[in-house]
Amino acid sequence: MPEAYEEIWQDADDENSTPRKYLNLCDSCQNIMTSPTNIKQLKSQTGLRLCSGSQEVSNCALRAIALESIGVFNARHPGHINQDDDGVVNVFGRKLGKGVEWYDIDTLELRYFREDSSGLRFTPLLEFDVLASPDDPAAEYISTRPPELNMLSEQSFNRIKRWITDCEKNHINCPAPSAATLPTRVIDVGVLEQTQIARVYETAHENGRYVALSYCWGGPQMIALTTATRSQMERGICISSLPRTLQDAIFITRMLGLRYIWVDSMCIIQDDPADKEKELKAMAQIYRDAFVTISAASTKSCQDGFLARRKPKASHYPRFTLPYCAWDDESKIGSVVLQQQFYHDFLTEPINKRAWTLQERLLSPRILIYGTHELWWQCQAEQLSNGGTGKFYDPGAERLLSAFFQHDKETLTHKEWWYSWVDTVIDYTHRELSFEEDKLVAISAIASQFQAVQSNDYLAGLWKSTLLMDLTWMIDPSKSQPLKPRPSKYVAPSWSWAAVQGTVSFASSWSSENEASYAEVSRCETTLSTNELPTGRVTAGFLEARAKVKEARWRSRTTDLLDYEPYDQSKTIGRAWMDAEEEKPERLFCIRLERNVGLIVTEQSPCVFQRVGFFEIIGESSEESVALTDKWFEQCDTQIITII
């Protein structure tokens, strides 16, 4: 606990209980939520003023917090805030209901302002979540609850059931969680909770409700469906012999009143290539049709389980309580819990580091996410945490647009479709694969869903209708990631992002589609490993185009693209981003694709090239960038080239 206010904090925090403690505050800070007038002022743009002066004079713990926050802020931005500047508190929330001029507060923000020639300037310093315990009078007005740390509590189970019921009855953009065609195989967990036996059930593709499991294997599976184990697993498996994550998933399936669960390691014959191909082709439908998907997001291995009690979120300032006055009855006094806001990067969850699990999240219309700190719910309409009804958003938790689940071509524009694919590829390429040759296979189910919504030729991770824009991928320079070697086995043509390792970004924006093209693709083909999986592995591919090609140089270990002049090779013309860690090629060529960008290639044979990087020519403005590129390529003739 920070020394600045250690002596004026009352009651130690017990992480296993709801906090019932008060700060030693001055009168003005103690009463910021004790009248409708004060709460209205808190909601206003100017907020409610904090006490001022030194902490010793005010003897106010909130002032102590403010002073410490100012010190931290000024360490990064020297002299930006003076301790004598006015501090204010603001609250944020949404209206309680239609026609009700009051707010369900979910955030309290501490900020400072000063007045200068440009007017009032506000600097946010610290934010707190505003929570109400279920049994507190304030709970009628404040909907967000303290996080439920016990995943096995009745409160957690009831909340899950409410989420599902609300989605089923009220969400018009969510596919109805009705009975669907069962996958080829499911695990039958029985109808009695006391049953300790589950079995692999080969269905007749009858209708039924089932749960799907998304989890990290964490290595080879000790128990898996193979040609040798199939007969025994169809007769029965002792549930207690299964990995902990599978046991937990079966428990939740039964809690939901369902009989079937789909688990990849136990429902796909792992040593039968033909069965794998058939089930991989059906993967999109398996997750799309599941009643709900359980995501064991916080576990690195199937042995870990996901129902253990969570630990409270770490924060610099302990939680505390303030009195709260009801807006419609000033005699009704409750209390709210303030907890320092904690940002947990969703992408750091173990499940979001694995490439295979992206399709499981994106293709599931409803998903229960058992995260490191709490339980989350995602559907096409809402993203909720089990800390209450307050919505959450995380940049690692995007969903596919609802049209993807409804195959609604009319409501999904080509622009929306393309940007969704770009976002998907960026997310996918930061993830890890155990086998590099699975690069196209692990995203094939998502690609098939995109293809179902808008008919389009799929070309090893790129699309025919947006091919020039798709070709503008590059290893994302903003990630400061070291270049990785190319895969040791053939994965994709060099013009595909699947041919390299690392997070990619795209130089194109949708406006590029309507701009003048500087290259024209006349033919692009790939050879599939199997026709059973048209969005899967490829064994070859080529791209033929008409474009301008210019020789250049690259200064090794930099991003300097140099103009090729026999007597002067020091003139920097633009920036170069290489695709992989490899020896410096003796000769490089640049192929212009769009305004001021294009591919860096090496010549394999006359007019046959292999991509090795991406270039951009940069001027003082976008117009100058194009003009510089025009000038650089003006002496070049258009050629017919092939990229492999």
Q: How far is CA 49 from CA 29, 86, 92, 470, in A?
A: 9, 7, 16, 52
Do 303 and 321 belong to one domain? no
What is the overall mean pLDDT for the chain? Answer: 86
User: Is the residue at 454 inside a domain?
Assistant: no
Cα–Cα nearest to 518, from 592, 465, 467: 592
What confidence tier does 497 reach under pLDDT thresholds 50, 70, 90? Answer: very high
Mean pLDDT of 475-504: 91
- According to DSSP, the β-strands at 462-463 and 86-95 are unpaired
pLDDT above 70: residue 385: yes
In percent, the amount of the chain with pLDDT more than 70 equals 88
Contacts of 327 (CB under 8 A, 6+ apart): 36, 39, 102, 141
pLDDT at site 12: 35
Do 359 and 498 belong to one domain? no
pLDDT at site 556: 79
Do 280 and 201 belong to one domain? yes
498, 424 contact by CB (below 8 A): no
What is the C-alpha separation between 68 and 51, in angstroms, rounded? 15
What is the C-alpha separation between 52 and 41, in angstroms, rounded? 18
* CA dihedral over 256, 260, 262, 265, signed as positive or negative: positive
Phi, psi of 37 (to 5 degrees): -65, -45
User: Is the residue at 290 inside a domain?
Assistant: yes
Contacts of 5 (CB under 8 A, 6+ apart): 23, 55, 61, 64, 65, 68
Do 256 and 386 belong to one domain? yes
Burial of 324 (0-12, 13-18, 19+ CB in 10 A): buried
pLDDT above 50: residue 11: no
In this structure, which amino acid lies at residue 542?
Answer: F
Mean pLDDT of 56-70: 79
pLDDT above 70: residue 642: yes
332, 132 contact by CB (below 8 A): no
462, 471 contact by CB (below 8 A): yes
Contacts of 543 (CB under 8 A, 6+ apart): 493, 495, 521, 523, 524, 642, 643, 644
Task: Flag the least confident range among 76-85, 112-121, 135-144.
Answer: 112-121
Which residue has 């937990």 as its token pair? 248
Contacts of 252 (CB under 8 A, 6+ apart): 211, 294, 307, 368
DSSP state of 194: T
What is the C-alpha separation between 330 and 324, in angstroms, rounded? 9
Do 49 and 184 belong to one domain? no
pLDDT above 90: residue 163: yes
User: Is the residue at 420 inside a domain?
Assistant: no
Do 246 and 381 belong to one domain? yes
Q: Where are the alpha helices (DSSP H) in 309-443?
A: 356-362, 403-406, 414-429
CA angle 429, 350, 250 (to 5 degrees): 120
Secondary element (H or E) of residue 624: helix 622-633
Do 234 and 115 belong to one domain? no
User: Is the residue at 415 inside a domain?
Assistant: no
pLDDT at site 55: 57
Segments forming the whole domain that contains residue 82: 3-146+315-340
Which residue has 């610099």 as its token pair? 316
600, 590 contact by CB (below 8 A): yes
What confidence tier does 14 reach under pLDDT thresholds 50, 70, 90? Answer: very low
DSSP state of 489: S
Do 384 and 471 belong to one domain? no
End-to-end CA distance of the chain: give it in Å, rounded.
Answer: 61
Instruction: Estimate the crossing angle of helix 414-429 against helix 444-453, to 10 degrees.
Output: 180
What confidence tier does 423 reach under pLDDT thresholds 50, 70, 90? Answer: very high
What is the C-alpha separation between 577 and 386, in angstroms, rounded? 43
Higher pLDDT, 42 or 84: 42
Do 280 and 327 belong to one domain? no
Ranges of beta strands (E only) in 501-571 are 504-506, 519-528, 538-554, 560-563
pLDDT at site 567: 53
524: helix, strand or coil: strand
User: Is the residue at 421 inside a domain?
Assistant: no
Residue 294, Cα to own-chain centre: how many angstroms? 16
What is the C-alpha separation between 225 and 201, in angstroms, rounded? 12
User: Is the residue at 426 inside a domain?
Assistant: no
Do 109 and 210 belong to one domain? no
Secondary element (H or E) of residue 233: helix 230-235
pLDDT at site 4: 36
Cα–Cα nearest to 147, from 427, 460, 372: 372
User: Is the residue at 428 inside a domain?
Assistant: no
Q: What digits encode the pLDDT tens for the residues 69-90?
A: 888 888 887 767 776 666 788 8
* CA dihedral over 546, 547, 551, 554, signed as positive or negative: negative
Higher pLDDT, 195 or 158: 158
Domain count, the chain: 3
Task: Flag the least confident range among 32-36, 476-480, 588-592, 632-636.
Answer: 476-480
What is the C-alpha separation between 305 and 300, in angstroms, rounded? 9
Q: What digits encode the pLDDT tens for the residues 599-641?
A: 999 999 999 999 999 999 988 898 999 999 999 999 999 999 9
CA angle 580, 585, 591 (to 5 degrees): 80
- According to DSSP, the β-strands at 197-202 and 237-238 are antiparallel
Do 164 and 138 belong to one domain? no
Tokens representing 522 are 């006349």
User: Is the residue at 96 inside a domain?
Assistant: yes
Q: Could you count the other beta carbons within 10 Å of the beta carbon of residue 574?
A: 23
Do 330 and 349 belong to one domain? no
- According to DSSP, the β-strands at 366-370 and 292-295 are parallel
pLDDT at site 126: 87
The pTM of this model reads: 0.85
